[in-house]
Amino acid sequence: MEAAAAGARALLVLPSRSPFQEPRFAFPVRCAPIPIAQRHFFPPPRSWDSHCRRPLLRFSCCLREAQGDPATRRKRLAVFVSGGGSNFRSIHKATIDGTVLGDVVIVVSDKPECKACEYAREHGISVAYYPRTKFAPDGVSPNELVEILRHQRVDFVLLAGYLKLIPKELVEAFPRAILNIHPALLPAFGGKGFYGIKVHEAVIASGARVSGPTIHFVDEKYDHGSILAQRTVPVLETDTPQDLAARVLEQEHALYVEAVAALCEERIEWSGDGVPRMREKELA
């Protein structure tokens, strides 16, 4: 058919008079057929609003990208979630207020109905599902997941309460570009089975007097990769696991935003023995 040979017909979307209004459709243009990977993620309605409310900012971002300066180009972020997504929301807000030089372009989850996915849809962020399970029958394979992220031109992958093991295909496709946050001081209280409130129960049961979040680069094992940053909080004698979790979570939000900001600004340095560190931001 002519449509198959020449490519699908699409509509070019141009700005309305006000960036807060619905987009208006202009003239039809020719484009290539939609890649198969796009069938596996689901951009929510009215995505125009969240992506184009500040057209001048978006224009400047595109200009920086065209210039190709990695230190000033806004990075494209994928966030993996499984639950409420408080760290994801903290990072997303930091991208909006300018603290993080990047944009969350896609969310990946093993639980399509979790609150983090709901938040993503409400804010015009595409959502993909991995892996394929009874809770996520539309989930993709590891290779399809890599294809989707590449199609979205993702620079960095951020795990924010994602409970599944990251496939080796993704680790190999994004070397030194995947971060995770863990609610304890690794290497203690980490590994398979240590997640959520279980971590804080184990910390209290051990008699440890300090705890805190750890941010590390991701490899093919649970909670096992080069540690980038940690922050400590006290463990009080009267603490319940919920008390400790709340104290650690407050530091998680702050520390993860700092680490992602450094990542997006190319301020991560690696020593000769493979240990990363965050370089302080230079004052203007």
Write out the catalytic residue numbers: 182
Per-residue three-class SS string for 176-199: CCEEEEECCCCCCCCCCCCCCHHH
Task: Please name the residues in contact with 146: beta carbons below 8 A apart, sequence gap of 6 or more.
Answer: 169, 170, 173
CA distance 233 to 210: 6
Alpha carbons 201 and 33: distance in angstroms, whole number: 52
Strand residue runs (E) in 31-168:
75-81, 102-109, 126-129, 156-159
State the amino acid at position 230 in one-letter form.
Answer: Q
At position 43, the amino acid (one-letter code) is: P
Q: What is the dihedral of CA 44, 48, 49, 51, to 10 degrees?
A: 100
Run of H or E including 242: helix 241-264
Structure tokens at 183: 């609610």
Report the SS3 class of residue 95: helix
Residue type, 275: V
